[in-house]
């Protein structure tokens, strides 16, 4: 126990020393990147997921939906069937060099996280859309609104409400998964705390603090999702 206290002391001292600012800014950068990748990833994921889910609930009697369906199946199969680290590495070290483009690693992480979560969200969204009473679509179509308009204005808002808790979980997963972006050289919380550990030859406290930060993040997000759910439920009960 005494050694734990000593280690903690050392960790605190680090933040009083001359290079404290550098460490703090490193942690903040990590935190910022985690937030950025998770949020942007989720937004891209929602867009891709909604598009795929919409294709999947399209009436099947025409040719185009069949082709689109095939494409979506391959997409979802790939992103759900391989680890995200692999997708990240493939994209950063294979796809981009082959295309001859150079994009900052954080941006790459945003894109890959978005494409990955799009595959998962498509399944969530599909079940959300199917949970909406088909009468809602009929009501819209009978008024002369197109399939797309009815989907956007009426069905998807109700679907989103139904799946909000699940979407919240997906966001939490994304936040936690950001700890892999160091594989392509982006700074995240792990990189920041590893640096601190390396500087002090002491990893116990830095990684413990890192874990606490992750837990706090997840708790805060859970709380926000709950609040959002409650305000959305207003249209059910009124008042």
Q: Nearest approach, Cβ of 51 to other proteins (angstroms)?
A: 20
Mask of contacts with other proteins, 207-236, x by CB under 8 A?
A: ----------------------------xx
Two tokens at 190?
Answer: 């792990």
Do residues 114 and 88 lie in contact, with contact meaning Cβ atoms separated by under 8 Å?
Answer: no
Name the residue nearer to other proteins (CB basis): 10 or 153: 153
Residue 167 neighbours by CB under 8 Å, 6+ apart:
42, 46, 121, 124, 160, 225
Binders of other proteins among 121-160, rule CB under 8 A? 133, 135-136, 138-146, 149, 153-154, 157-158
Two tokens at 130?
Answer: 């199917």
Do residues 188 and 198 lie in contact, with contact meaning Cβ atoms separated by under 8 Å?
Answer: no
SS3 238: coil
DSSP type of residue 132: S
Q: Nearest approach, Cβ of 229 to other proteins (angstroms)?
A: 14
Task: Determine if 161 is a binding residue for other proteins (CB under 8 A).
Answer: yes
Name the residue nearer to other proteins (CB basis): 88 or 156: 156
- The residues that touch other proteins, with contacts defined as CB under 8 A, are 133, 135-136, 138-146, 149, 153-154, 157-158, 161, 235-238
């Amino acid at each position: 126990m005494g050694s734990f206290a000593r280690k903690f002391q050392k960790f605190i001292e680090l933040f009083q020393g001359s290079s404290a600012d550098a460490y703090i800014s490193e942690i903040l950068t990590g935190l910022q990147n985690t937030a950025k990748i998770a949020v942007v990833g989720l937004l891209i994921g929602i867009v891709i997921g909604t598009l795929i889910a919409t294709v999947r609930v399209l009436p099947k009697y025409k040719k185009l939906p069949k082709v689109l369906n095939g494409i979506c199946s391959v997409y979802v199969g790939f992103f759900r069937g391989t680890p995200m680290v692999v997708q990240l590495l493939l994209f950063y070290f294979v796809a981009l060099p082959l295309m001859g483009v150079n994009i900052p690693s954080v941006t790459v992480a945003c894109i890959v996280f978005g494409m990955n979560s799009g595959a998962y969200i498509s399944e969530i969204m599909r079940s959300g859309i199917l949970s909406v009473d088909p009468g809602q679509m009929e009501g819209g179509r009978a008024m002369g609104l197109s399939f797309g308009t009815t989907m956007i204005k009426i069905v998807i808002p109700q679907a989103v409400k139904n799946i909000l808790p699940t979407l919240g979980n997906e966001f939490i997963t994304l936040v936690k998964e950001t700890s892999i972006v160091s594989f392509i050289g982006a700074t995240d919380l792990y990189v920041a705390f590893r640096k601190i550990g390396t500087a002090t030859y002491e990893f116990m406290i830095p990684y413990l603090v890192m874990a606490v930060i992750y837990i706090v993040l997840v708790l805060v997000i859970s709380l926000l999702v709950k609040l959002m759910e409650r305000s959305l439920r207003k249209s059910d009960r009124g008042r």
